[in-house]
Amino acid sequence: MNDVIGLLQRHRSIRKFKPDEVPEEALEAIIRSAQMASTSSNVQAYSVIAVTNPDTKRALSVVAGNQLHVEQCPVLLVWCADLSRDRLACEREGVEMVSGTMENFIVATVDVALAAQNAAIAAESLGLGIVYIGGIRNNLREATRLLNVPKLVYPVFGMCLGYPEQESSLRPRLPLRAALHRETYEQAAQAEAIAEYDRTTRDYYIERTKGKRDTTWSKEMADKFKRPARTYMREYLEEQGFRFD
């Protein structure tokens, strides 16, 4: 329909990067674009830590499950939900901030996700590639130590950034009718949409791996959700000053 929609619909994750540095002006343009994302009540409850130090990237790659691209990408952006700056603003006005609510936790987490996606689009418009790194939540205490993260801040995910050195294929998404509902939630349409998507993903994996991987989206989801993951998260978040009362 237009260049922006075309860019969005060509998104692919990049896990192999050229060694070229990301120019400072490009990085600043990307973060300024992130800052223009929608934010709840203008709280702007996020911060971004740009990591280029090889030792830090290497340590964070271990945290993320030994993902080599975390170590090898030119820049690792660590996106943090951040209420600490809002607390400082309250203190300037002599107000004690009520931070420990589920709502404030959600606001900060949503804010950082919106900003990061703006950054991803901006990066891709400049010919750069990205991949999100949820694996940084494998050990947030170690990530917190490495990045000197203060209270009321927590790293939500990383983002590898650099110039692509691979041509990865587009991963198919669920059929539109699975995601788009009209007027009310259409539960009846989900089973058929999932069955269709299972056929699509099975063909995709067989073609992509030349027959070495024969699976479906349902099988992947069953494997992912059959056991609890990162069960320490609530305890860690409470250590960081977030509360869920």
Average pLDDT of the chain to the nearest whole number? 96
What pLDDT does residue 243 have? Answer: 83
Average pLDDT over residues 29-51: 98
3-class secondary structure, 186:
coil
Farthest-apart Cα atoms in the chain, separation: 64
**pLDDT, tens digit (0-9, with 9 covering 90-100), for 56-99:** 999 999 999 999 999 999 999 999 999 999 999 999 999 999 88
Cα–Cα distance, 41 to 74 (Å, whole number): 34
The model's pTM is 0.96
Q: Residues 238, 239, 243, CA angle at the centre, nearest 5°? A: 20
What pLDDT does residue 18 have? Answer: 97
Match 């260049």 to its residue by tokens.
3
Q: In what order do the strands lie in the sheet with 75-82?
A: 46-51, 75-82, 153-162, 129-133
Nearest to 15 by CA among 214, 213, 167: 167
What pLDDT does residue 154 have? Answer: 98
Average pLDDT over residues 204-215: 94
Average pLDDT over residues 128-133: 98
Does pLDDT of 245 surpass 80?
no
Cα–Cα distance, 29 to 32 (Å, whole number): 5
Average pLDDT over residues 181-210: 95
Chain centroid to Cα 38, Å, comes to 16
**What is the secondary structure of 116-164 as a DSSP string?**
HHHHHHHHHHTT-EEEEEGGGGGGHHHHHHHHT--TTEEEEEEEEEE-B
Average pLDDT over residues 115-142: 98
